[in-house]
Structure 1
Amino acid sequence: MTTVELTRFHVVPEHVERLLAARPAMLADFRADRSGFLGARLVRLPGDEWLDIVYWRTPEDFADSRAKGANLPGITAFFEAIDHVVSAEEGTTIEDEDER
């Protein structure tokens, strides 16, 4: 089982390019600085909303990441493009990727 972070957020249209441009550096910072980071998927939703699905090895890895916040430039740049967070949840996968 994998811990999953689900964050839904709003981005004003004029900041979408900035968000997408910041994404690679944010992911690179996560890979370099966040123990247990397994990967992420960014989903564009209707109404200027987005869903970031982030996979963590354990709940503790996710908690440690949250405690660090926007501690690196790539992460800060991504977060600054977000207008506001709509919701944030944590879950656990039931099946592995290859079981779908």
Structure 2
Amino acid sequence: MTTVEMTRFRVPEARAEALLAARPAMLSDFQSDRAGFLGARLIRLGADEWLDIVFWRTSEDFAESRRRGADRPGIKTFFGLIDEVISSEEGTTSDPVGA
């Protein structure tokens, strides 16, 4: 099974382009520095709401990443654009990532 992190957050419309521009560096930091990171999908739900779905090999990998927080420049920049975290949940899927 794969661990899935689902985080819903708000970013003002005026910063949407900056958020999208910061995304590649954040993903690069996760890929190079976070054990168990399998990939992510960013979904725009409305003018200022987003859903980030991140796939982890294990729940422990996700917990370690959460513990470390924004300790890399790309992650810090992306997180810094978020005004409010609405919700954050963890689940599992039996579907392979990318299916």
* TM-score of the superposed pair, with normalisation by structure 1: 0.94
Residue 61 of structure 1: SS of its match in structure 2?
Answer: helix
Runs of 5+ unmatched residues, structure 2: none
| CA–CA separation in structure 1 for the residues paired with 2:57 and 2:94 | 13
**Amino acid paired to 2:72:** L
Q: Tell me if the contact between 2:42 and 2:51 (Cα under 8 Å) persists in the aligned partners.
A: yes
Runs of 5+ unmatched residues, structure 1: none
Q: Tell me if the contact between 2:55 and 2:97 (Cα under 8 Å) persists in the aligned partners.
A: no
Match of 2:86 in 1: 86
Query: Counterparts of 1:52-91 in structure 2 under 5 Å?
Result: 52-91=52-91
Backbone CA RMSD of aligned residues: 1.3
1:96 CA displacement: 2.7
Runs of 4+ residues deviating >4 angstroms: none
| CA–CA separation in structure 2 for the residues paired with 1:25 and 1:96 | 25
Post-superposition CA distance 1:40-84 (Å, at most 9, x none)? 000000241000000000000000000110001100000011111
Report % sequence identity.
Answer: 65
**Amino acid paired to 2:42:** L
| CA spacing shift, 1:80–1:58, aligned 2, 3 Å | same
Match of 2:35 in 1: 35
Alignment length, in residue pairs?
A: 99
1:97 CA displacement: 4.8
| CA spacing shift, 1:75–1:97, aligned 2, 3 Å | closer
